[in-house]
Amino acid sequence: MVSQEMLSQESTLTPQSVDTLYATHHQWLRGWLRRKLGCREQASELAHDTFLRIIAARNAAEIREPRDYLATIAKGLVFDLFRKQALERAYLDVLSTLPQASLPSMEERALMWEALLQIDRMLDGLKPKVRQAFLLSQLEGLTYAEIALSLQVTKRSVSNYMTTALAHCYDLMEAP
């Protein structure tokens, strides 16, 4: 027999708590995002994604300051959107510099774009200097001494940065 205490410990997420949170704050969140983004469609999409994150976190019933909580999640999603848009602009800029004869096919472009997004997600969790050292090494082919000079740190720091970056990427690749 399942006790009431066991039920309450199992999960605080109930359909009613999500429904209530959504019904009470969805319009506000969408309006807040629309003012930030200037685009109704993106605002609706990010509001939807915000609630999906709450459902995935399974903590709707525990939220004490719903608007602050929703705004915090939404700000992170806005930041991710802007970063993705900047990456896409840079990718398209590089493609526009290629001669017509060497442009990749649409399928190759899609595969490269997916790879770029995956790399971006992997590097997102790194501190700025660690990420910069990793990119200078992997994309520019700089030596640790050159990276140290560029970042104004020691070679040992660069070595530590690279170890951190590689371990981070490895962990993400191994995660289910």
Task: Spell out the domain ranges in the chain.
Answer: 9-103, 125-176
pLDDT of residue 4: 39
pLDDT of residue 153: 96
pLDDT of residue 1: 34
Q: Which residues of the chain are modeled with pLDDT < 50? A: 1-13
pLDDT in tens, 52-83: 998 888 877 788 888 999 999 999 999 989 98
Q: Phi and psi at residue 108, in whole multiples of 5°?
A: -65, -40
DSSP 39-101: -HHHHHHHHHHHHHHHHHHT-GGG-SSHHHHHHHHHHHHHHHHHHHHHHHHHHHHHHHHS-GG
- Quote the CA–CA distance of 111 and 87 in Å, as a whole number: 15
Tokens of 112: 């490269």
Packing angle, helices 15-37 and 40-57, rounded to 10: 150
The CATH number of the structural domain formed by 125-176 is 1.10.10
Tokens of 80: 């991710």
Cβ burial 75-86 (10 Å sphere, 16+ → b, else e): eebbeeeeeeee
Looking at residue 71, its amino acid is A
